[in-house]
């Protein structure tokens, strides 16, 4: 495992800008549902960025001794922090059916909070406590793979007990079983997979299929109507794949070559802009004819607009994961593990997948999902077939120096 950025370090200007972008128009900031259920959470989170960037957090010290006495037997509760719109909710918006059913079965109450808006921003909330060996007040958190890798490398995440995870330990879909940052899923279980693919508006492309980064960058008929994501790993990763390079082991020179190719698209006005998922309206209206998009958005848009199509590039696509972890000093580790395992029961996993529309990481869920919605069960962006799964790639781990260097270069490209 490579050394990760130490949490005592301040975020560089481009990294801080990336946090702000993610909070306002990032992957979970403006989904189809959240447009209908807008809240002030993002504004509140933005208000805390000054603290994240400037506070005098002490240098990190790696500690594997941060385990605490488990109070699960005496305290029948679990505190769960997640992203917005990432778990099913009742039609009236007042209940969480999955969590309510878990409580009825186990007697364990769940304090569920949608207080994760961005990986770095959330890390800034908890890093001082974890570095000091203190309880964060959370038993279960959901973070993206590269941030999970950082926390695991720092020794801030508890090793999970497979004895409490009979469904989860045997139920992870093959493509998610053994990430290089957590071999054998010793500290984490995937909550969902997040594919970055190509989406296009067939009306805007006059029926033409758009299925490669080369088309996005070189097709004159798309000039000025192309979007790429402001998430570096997805945009650069897809570009590397199109160039015949591997994001899993790309060099600095490979990264620079991908940026140069994208820069040509910027200079030639082929690329309209770099976006979070604020591409939703532009793509639906046809102002963007084609763009790099997150699969969950595509599935939701297709329900409203039959002109929205997608393509998995032959060169491959980018796949990241959001993952469940138990931080050090959590008071209710066993209760958290029981909740993880519950979410890996196929019937429960199907209910969650039917709501969030991202890749379900649970084996054996297809039959249960078909009972809810046959179209979703057959959708390869929710349950990838073997061929689709084999074309998924992930971006390699970056050390602290590379992280800052790559972020600055990408910020220069996007004008962030």
- The pLDDT of 266-281, averaged and rounded, is 92
**33 pLDDT more than 50:** no
- Rg of the chain over Cα atoms, rounded to whole angstroms, equals 21
Distance CA 2, CA 397 (A): 7
Q: Which two tokens stand for residue 313?
A: 């590039």
Percent of the chain with pLDDT over 90: 75
Distance CA 286, CA 276 (A): 17
Which pLDDT belongs to residue 199? 97
**353 pLDDT more than 80:** yes
Over the chain, what is the mean pLDDT?
87
Contact residues for 249 (Cβ-Cβ < 8 A; gap 6+): 396
Which pLDDT belongs to residue 195? 96
Answer for the pair 172, 191: CB distance below 8 angstroms, yes or no: no
**144 pLDDT more than 70:** yes
Answer for the pair 108, 76: CB distance below 8 angstroms, yes or no: yes
Percent of the chain with pLDDT over 70: 84
- The pLDDT of 319-338, averaged and rounded, is 97
Residue with tokens 């196929």: 346
**55 pLDDT more than 50:** no
- Output the CA–CA distances (angstroms, integers) from residue 265 to 39, 254, 262, in the order listed: 36, 17, 5
């Amino acid at each position: 495992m490579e050394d990760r950025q130490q949490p005592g370090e301040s975020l560089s200007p481009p990294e801080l800008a990336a946090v702000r972008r993610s909070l306002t128009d990032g992957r979970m900031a403006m989904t189809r549902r959240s447009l209908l259920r807008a809240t002030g959470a993002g504004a509140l989170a933005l208000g805390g960025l000054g603290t994240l960037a400037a506070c005098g957090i002490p240098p990190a010290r790696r500690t594997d001794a941060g385990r605490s006495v488990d109070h699960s037997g005496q305290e029948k509760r679990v505190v769960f922090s997640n992203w917005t719109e990432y778990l099913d909710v009742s039609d009236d918006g007042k209940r969480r059916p999955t969590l309510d059913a878990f409580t009825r079965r186990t007697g364990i109450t769940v304090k569920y909070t949608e207080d994760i808006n961005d990986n770095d921003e959330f890390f800034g909330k908890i890093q001082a406590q974890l570095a000091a060996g203190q309880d964060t007040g959370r038993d279960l958190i959901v973070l993206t793979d590269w941030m999970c890798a950082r926390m695991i490398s720092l020794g801030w995440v508890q090793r999970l007990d497979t004895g409490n995870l009979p469904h989860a330990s045997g139920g992870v879909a093959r493509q998610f079983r053994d990430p290089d940052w957590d071999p054998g899923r010793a500290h984490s279980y995937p909550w969902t997979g997040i594919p970055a693919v190509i989406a296009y508006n067939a009306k805007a492309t006059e029926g033409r299929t758009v299925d490669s980064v080369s088309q996005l960058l070189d097709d004159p008929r798309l000039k000025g109507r192309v979007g790429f994501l402001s998430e570096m790993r997805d945009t650069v990763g897809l570009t590397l794949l199109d160039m015949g390079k591997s994001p899993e082991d790309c060099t600095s020179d490979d990264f620079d070559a991908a940026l140069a190719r994208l820069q040509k698209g910027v200079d030639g006005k082929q690329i309209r802009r770099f976006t979070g998922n604020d591409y939703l309206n532009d793509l639906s209206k046809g102002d963007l004819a084609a763009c790099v998009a997150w699969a969950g958005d595509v599935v939701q848009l297709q329900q409203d607009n039959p002109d929205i199509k997608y393509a998995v590039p032959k060169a491959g696509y980018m796949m990241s994961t959001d993952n469940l972890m138990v931080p050090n000093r959590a008071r209710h580790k066993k209760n958290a593990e029981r909740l993880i395992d519950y979410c890996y029961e196929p019937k429960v996993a199907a209910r969650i997948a039917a709501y969030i529309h991202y890749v379900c990481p649970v084996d054996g869920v297809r039959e249960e999902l078909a009972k809810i919605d046959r179209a979703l069960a057959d959708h390869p962006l929710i349950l990838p077939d073997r061929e689709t799964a084999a074309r998924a790639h992930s971006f390699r781990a970056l050390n602290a120096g590379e992280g800052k260097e790559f972020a600055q270069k990408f910020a220069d490209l996007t004008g962030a």
